[in-house]
Structure 1
Amino acid sequence: MIRRIKACLNGDRAQGVPVTAAEVARAAAEAVAAGAEAIHVHPRDDHGAEFLAAADIGAAVAAVRGACPGTPVGVSTGLWITGGDVARRMAAVGGWAGLPVDRRPDFASVNVSEDGFADLARVLRGSGIAVEAGVWSAGEVGTLLGVPVDRILIEVLHTPAADAVASADTILERLDRLGVSGPRLLHGEEEACWPLIRHAGRLGLPTRIGLEDTLDLDDGSPATGNAELVARALEIWAKARLP
């Protein structure tokens, strides 16, 4: 269970993030030492391309686990990784069931807005991999009904800082109205990142931080890496929780 914070190490950024297995493993260990309770990573090859093939996913997961044993490790299933090909994504992710347990991701993020969301969620759960459902707007919440997921990610993207909290609250209210239960994690990207770290703390919701979400600290200065982002986010989250 993520009580406070998950680290998102790289995302699909083209530069300024850890890419190789060695870089990702080192960044994961540093983030955990700074307080991260789980790791989310977009595995890449040495040229920076994302992949979903079972053997490659297994190697990436093993590298992170070796660097921070006992820490849950999750990966992306973004449809863009297969160029929008739903069937090819399903086939690749379906192959993860054959991975040894120590090389299988603990969880995977699936974007609710992408074609094939429900089927992919069921395949992952059938493989013993927990599902994080990424919800980007209130209009997507209904898609969750009847789909087995283990955590709901309220993800506020492409949103100015001034509108971030209102956007998050709209999604949260819709989840409540439709009776969609289960653990929730709240975060934003870029401008929305830091306001929602604080808002997550106020609400007592876990959050996430890392170079996938922002390259900068809350004062606008460049972060030295994932560990610094995690440490600062925990300070802000904890302070917001104080009465």
Structure 2
Amino acid sequence: MLRPIARLKVALNGSRPPGAHPALPCTPAELAVAAQAAVAAGAEAVHLHPRRADGRESLDAADVGAAVSAVREACPATPIGVTTGLWISGRDVAARGRAVAGWAGLPRYRRPDFASANVSEPGFTDLVTTLRELDVAVEAGVWTLADADALSIAGGLPRLLVEVMRPETDAEAVLARLDTLGVRGERLLHGDGELCWPMVALAGRLGLPTRIGLEDTLTSPDGRPVADNAELVRLALSAWSAA
């Protein structure tokens, strides 16, 4: 069962290339250090994008297992999740499916506790089935009203990520549509880039958990560059509580 998040999950690195920020973690060792600091600052769960040796994102079992096990050793009591972004497989649905199915060969401590799956990406339903067979909990990435509609026939998922990527997206309308359709699952609200901090504040006002990290933004609410993921966690918890 996916443990609920009361306030905040940290997203350590995302798709940013190595060097995009001085504290961007890419290697398993860097991810472990960053996760430990973020959890100490108040993060309740960790989301990360595993990398190959050259820094590129990876869904391969060896890279996923190395990243997850390093973070688990540093944060043994913290749920750890990974991406399944279709862009990582060059938008090849079958290749992504094979890569994720390959996680079956990982020992449980090297396998993620949860994985995000974007509703709008082709192959979503089959991906959810594969993750369930692996006993990896699913977070559904909901970007639009159309995504909310699609989830109405997808069955209950433990967590829904209402992810605001574009200014024209009405987060409250998406949340309301999910409620109207009776879609079950914990709601987590967050934004990307310039929309990050407004969504942290909105999540606080609505009493919903949110997400923060160098995946989402490199700056504080006032536009100042931040030192690392841990600083973002502290700032987000303050902004969430103040809202």
Q: Distance in 1 between matches of 2:91 and 2:98?
A: 13
Indicate conservation of the 8 Å contact 1:121/1:147, yes or no.
no
Residue by residue over 1:87-120, the C-alpha shift from the partner in whole angstroms, topping out at 9 and shown as x without a partner, is 0100110111221111110000000000000110
1:141 aligns with 2:144: no
Q: Which runs of 5+ in 2 are unaligned?
A: none
Q: What is the aligned partner in structure 2 of residue 189 from structure 1?
A: 192
Q: Distance in 2 between matches of 1:228 and 1:75?
A: 21
Q: Distance in 2 between matches of 1:45 and 1:63?
A: 14
How many pairs were matched up? 235
User: Residues 70-81 of structure 1 correspond to what in structure 2 (within 5 A)?
Assistant: 70-81=77-88
Indicate conservation of the 8 Å contact 2:143/2:165, yes or no.
yes
Q: Given the alignment, which residue of 95, 98, 101 partners 1:94?
A: 101
Secondary structure of residue in 2 paired with 1:74: strand
1:39 aligns with 2:42: no
Q: What amino acid maps onto 1:105 in structure 2? A: P
- TM-score, normalising length: structure 1: 0.94
1:158 aligns with 2:131: no
Cα shift at 1:39: 0.3
Q: Which runs of 5+ in 1 are unaligned?
A: none
Q: What is the aligned partner in structure 2 of residue 55 from structure 1?
A: 62
Cα shift at 1:46: 3.0
After TM superposition, the structure 1 stretch with the greater mean CA deviation from structure 2, 42-51 or 123-132, is 42-51
Q: Distance in 1 between matches of 2:109 and 2:49?
A: 18
Q: Given the alignment, which residue of 172, 175, 191 partners 1:172?
A: 175
Indicate conservation of the 8 Å contact 1:34/1:231, yes or no.
yes
Moved over 3 A (4+): none
Q: Given the alignment, which residue of 1, 19, 23 partners 2:30?
A: 23
After TM superposition, the structure 1 stretch with the greater mean CA deviation from structure 2, 106-115 or 39-48, is 39-48
- TM-score, normalising length: structure 2: 0.94
Secondary structure of residue in 1 paired with 2:163: strand
Q: Distance in 2 between matches of 1:156 and 1:221?
A: 22
Indicate conservation of the 8 Å contact 2:10/2:43, yes or no.
yes
Cα shift at 1:53: 1.0
Question: Percent identity, aligned pairs only?
Answer: 59
CA RMSD of aligned residues (A): 1.1
Q: Distance in 2 between matches of 1:101 and 1:181?
A: 27
Residue by residue over 1:194-233, the C-alpha shift from the partner in whole angstroms, topping out at 9 and shown as x without a partner, is 0110110111110000000000000100011100000010
Q: What is the aligned partner in structure 2 of residue 3 from structure 1?
A: 6
